[in-house]
Chains A and B, each alone.
Chain A
Amino acid sequence: MVADKEQIMIESQLKVVGKILSAFSHELNNHLAVIKESAGLIEDILNFNKSFKGAGKENLKAFQSIENHITNTSWLCEQLGNFGHKMDEPLASFDVNESINELLVLLGRIAKQKGIIFEKDFQDNVPLIYSNPSKLQFLIFCFIDKNLNRFERNGSIIFKTSYSHSSITIKILTRGEVTETGERDICPDEIHEYVARRLRGNIVREDGGIAITLPVSISSEADAHD
């Protein structure tokens, strides 16, 4: 009973975090939209008004730069918002490639700091799957985190997806010199297996990586004691 309540509490907490993330990123987007339109209006005035022609070239470049940065920031906000929304429902239809990509975008800064490169080799036209998107992202995050701590600069983490026989396989492979950073993994190995089982999938550990295989559709998550 206590364990059930604990489980409900953790899931509710995650939903709260997701809601705050998505609401916050949307709010940021609103402010960015006002900034973009205001910068755009000044740019328009410089462009449309003949008396500003010539004198405004440098200004126009600056406004273009503002607009580009707003566009990039807004796109990052959108990724953060989508990430937050993944916690809305326990089961949903989603695109695996898109979900991995979203995670890689959000972890881009950490990877850059550590000098690790993310490489993608996604199969095209992978069908949408019906499963728990936030748990899958969590599982993939665990492997990324583990490898970010294991490799020296210029190492790579490679993500491959493929679809066959009603299941999707996500391979996470690594390349580079292994090092000991002393940093502890956020999530212990046994949790990886546990999460994969909950998603009715399995994990195969191979040389230099892992392969997660998931069914295309599940009607519910497996019981914790399965």
Chain B
Amino acid sequence: MFGKKKDIKVLLVDDEVEFVDTLAQRLKMRELLVDTVYDGKQALSFIKKTEPDVIVLDLKMPELHGIDVLREIKKSKAHIQVIILTGHGTDKDEEEARKLGGFDFLRKPADIDLLVAKIKEAFAEKLERAMTAITFAEEGVTDTAKRIIRKEE
């Protein structure tokens, strides 16, 4: 319904280089378009240039904590979906991530099929929101047009 997997652009953000590179290979084998960065700062500059659909984000990273990265993403590009994938997650972290608009919270090591399913769900929700926004915008245009016509009459 929401397009092929190849259409889904995923950004993996994790300072565990070996982990993130291997995971990227596995996701690519499942026909996702995957980019990787190794810390929060790189993630923020990446999304300034390119817009992934879904970000899979670790929490405990040097310099910038994942929660701060999530906060920044939601401030500037709220439509990008973020899935937290962490080996350091407490219930408090999960609560905070969800409050900030994180799509889901997974603990490492996560099952690859589950991760792919969550990525697809997140992408579907992103598309659905975009469609709703377009519909509202169109309705807005129609209403304005009707008002103009009424005025002219």
**Residue positions of A touching B, CB distance < 8 A:** 26-27, 29-30, 32-38, 40-41, 44, 48, 70-71, 74, 78, 82, 85
Contacts and interface: CB of A to CB of B under 8 A. Distances in A.
A74 B107 CA distance: 9
B90 A44 contact: no
Contacts of B108: 29-30, 32-33, 74
Interface residues of B, number: 17
B88 A70 contact: no
B88 A38 contact: no
Given A37-B19, A70-B109, A71-B109, A30 B87 contact: yes
Contact of B18 (A27, A34, A40, A85): A34
| In the A-B complex, the 3 residue pairs with the closest CB atoms | A29-B87, A33-B109, A36-B109
A34 B22 contact: yes
B22 A37 contact: yes
A89 to B, nearest CB: 10
23 contacts: A26-B87, A26-B88, A27-B87, A29-B109, A30-B87, A32-B108, A32-B109, A33-B87, A34-B18, A34-B19, A34-B22, A36-B109, A37-B26, A37-B109, A38-B18, A41-B22, A41-B26, A70-B109, A71-B109, A74-B107, A74-B108, A74-B109, A85-B90
Which of B18, B25, B87 is packed against the most chain A CB atoms within 10 Å? B87
Nearest to A75: B107
A209 B18 CA distance: 51
A30 B26 CA distance: 17
Contacts of A41: 22, 25-26
B16 interface: yes
Contacts of B88: 26, 29
Interface of B: 16, 18-19, 22-23, 25-26, 29, 60, 87-88, 90, 107-109, 111-112
Contacts of A71: 109, 111
B22 A30 contact: no
Given A26-B60, A29-B108, 15 more contacts: A26-B87, A29-B107, A30-B19, A32-B109, A33-B16, A34-B16, A34-B18, A34-B19, A36-B109, A37-B26, A38-B22, A40-B22, A71-B109, A74-B107, A82-B90
Contacts of B29: 44, 48
Contacts of A29: 87-88, 107-109
Given A41-B22, A78-B107, A30 B16 contact: yes
A35 B108 CA distance: 11
Contacts of B19: 30, 33-34, 37
Contacts of A36: 109
Contacts of A32: 108-109
A37 B108 CA distance: 10
A19 to B, nearest CB: 12
Contacts of B16: 30, 33-34
B78 to A, nearest CB: 29
B63 to A, nearest CB: 18
B23 to A, nearest CB: 5
A75 to B, nearest CB: 9
A85 B22 CA distance: 30
A27 B88 CA distance: 8
A52 to B, nearest CB: 13
Nearest to A26: B88
Contacts of B23: 37
